[in-house]
Amino acid sequence: MALRIGLVVGTGSATLQHGTGAIANYASHNLKYDIKGAVVNFYQIQPFQWLGSEGVTTLENAAGTAIGVEAAVRTYLDAFIGSTKAL
């Protein structure tokens, strides 16, 4: 059950869903991610909270398709949420 993340077009919101679980909405400007080795972690900035993690190569877009290798994941996520090397 991979973590799915996607931008809700025109709303400034991003959704996170683990497998078939509940969909959580977050303001995209309030999200950050970091990649440590083979794991991508997601955080809410205010209030600061770890939201979850996923294997870089198994992270899925909102349609449920694996995004791919680290470079593809960074390109996808940087389009709508911020990044950092370490928090």
Q: For 39-74, what is each residue's pLDDT tens digit?
A: 999 999 999 999 999 999 999 999 999 999 999 999
Q: Which residues is 17 bridged to in the sheet?
A: 4, 23
pLDDT of residue 11: 86
Q: In this structure, what are the phi and psi dihedrals at residue 71, rounded to the nearest 5 degrees?
A: -60, -40
For the whole model, what pTM was predicted? Answer: 0.87
The pLDDT tens digits for 13-40 are: 999 999 889 999 999 999 999 999 999 9
Q: Give the integer Cα–Cα distance in Å for 38 and 50.
A: 17
